[in-house]
Structure formats: structure tokens, C-alpha cells
Amino acid sequence: MKTMGNSMKSAAFLIESRLAEAARGSSNAYFDLGVIYSTGSEGVEVDLIEAHKWFNLASLSGHDESKVCRAEISLEMTAREIAEAQREARSWLQETSRRAA
């Protein structure tokens, strides 16, 4: 049986904890997830659509630095990818507001 190394476990834990905080509306958690996905840190693959989604959510929550990051990664994305990221952000907001209700 293959097990995850400690760094993989801690990365997975960090992402899970940031997702839990994001579900509670933490703009810092949104931003951190954007950084993780835009840089490929914490053992995840770079995913600009996912990064844009999190930076977008952080921006909507008033996190100023995320607006700059979102603009920077947008330069490397197609219009279709940006539209997908925006759909995913809207979906996340709808899902979390349903769970909170």
C-alpha cells in the first residue's frame, strides 16, 4: 500500500483548511487558494482557471492585492478560460450560500 509523504499530507491539509475557511467567506483564504493554484505551490498543478476563480472571489470580498493577481494571470488566459473561471466563482458563491441557509 502506497502512502502519501508528510509534505503531501501537509499540503492536502493546508488546502482543505483554506477551503473550509473559504466556505466561511474568508477573503484571505480565497487569496491563498489563488496563490496556490497560480504558482503550483503546495503540491498542486498550476491551474489558472482555478486561480482566477479564487482571486475573483477574493476581489469580490474586498481583497485589493487579489485584483492585481487576477489581472496578471488573465494576461495568460483565453477569454473562454476567464469565462469558465467566472462561472466557477458564481457556482461557488451559490453553493456556499445554499449551505449557509
Q: Could you tell me the pLDDT band of residue 100, with boundaries at 50, 70 and 90?
A: low
* Rounded mean pLDDT, 45-65: 96
Q: Which of residues 92 and 8 earns the better pLDDT score?
A: 92
pTM of the predicted structure, to 2 decimals: 0.87
The neighbour count for residue 23, using CB atoms within 10 Å, is: 14
Whole-number Å distance between alpha carbons of 79 and 25: 27
Whole-number Å distance between alpha carbons of 84 and 93: 14
Classified as helix, coil or strand, 16 is: helix
Q: Could you tell me the pLDDT band of residue 5, with boundaries at 50, 70 and 90?
A: low
Q: Mean pLDDT in the chain?
A: 90
Q: Could you tell me the pLDDT band of residue 43, with boundaries at 50, 70 and 90?
A: confident
